[in-house]
Structure 1
Amino acid sequence: MSDSTISIRVGADGATTMINVFTVEPGDQAELVRLEVTGMTGIASKVPGFVRGSIHRSLDGTRLVNYIHWADSDAWRNAHETLKANPEYLEHMENVRRIATADPHPYEVIAVIDGAAA
């Protein structure tokens, strides 16, 4: 994991961000965090086009959000196809689905608004 900051900007050279919102029982959130950190560091981060990912957990224990920045939409599509054929990824997702439901969608940045503290 890295402590570096992510530069989020509009029109970031065609970058695509995959945001996945997981719904989980509070008692399973820690396990889901473990699975997602392991999956992102051990599987997704090794796929060509992966730029950086982040994982966030809700304070009420019922959600986990991950987002992965891909170099561009082609990189994301290629990664999606590559991962669908990766046995390690398929096993990872099977373990995730035992405890959570996922709602993944690709996004593009359309606005960035900074606050006074930025």
Structure 2
Amino acid sequence: MSETVIRAEDGAAFMINVFDVDPENQKELAEVMSEGAEKYIRHRPGCLSVNLLTSNNGKRLLYIAQWRSKADIKAALGDPDIQRVRERAAELANPDAHAYTVYALHHPES
């Protein structure tokens, strides 16, 4: 089983895109973003994981891509296939994308 692992010390970079979407478009947006992740993103050098989360009220979608470095994010964003996916997503919703690094992690005691 593969899983997303977040560690403060590994220097990973994250591209997090918060989409505000009309509830009737949320499923289509999720399908567009999931297909783009499967066909293009996960095969890019430096991609560690892609996670999609949909809000229960249908008004938001979170796209969280974990990368080895910010340079890997920048290179992926230059890919014409990825640009087309982003353009299609922007037709369905209002995106707000930013790059992030881990500041702190907190876990319950074992």
- The two structures have a TM-score, normalised by structure 1, of 0.84
State the number of aligned residues: 110
1:103 pairs with 2:103:
no
TM superposition outliers: structure 1 runs of 4+ over 6 Å: none
Counterpart code for 1:102: P
- Selected match of 1:4 from 2, 5, 9: 2
| Cα displacement string for residues 68-89 of structure 1 (whole angstroms, at most 9, x for unaligned residues) | 1111122222222x32xx1x32
- Conserved in 2, the CA contact under 8 Å of 1:28 and 1:99? yes
RMSD after superposition: 1.6
Residue 44 of structure 1 deviates from its aligned partner by 1.1
- Conserved in 2, the CA contact under 8 Å of 1:49 and 1:79? no
- Selected match of 1:58 from 55, 58, 70: 55
Identical positions, percent: 28
SS at match of 2:38: helix
Q: Which ranges in structure 2 are unaligned for 5 or more consecutive residues?
A: none
Q: Which ranges in structure 1 are unaligned for 5 or more consecutive residues?
A: none
Residue 6 of structure 1 deviates from its aligned partner by 1.6
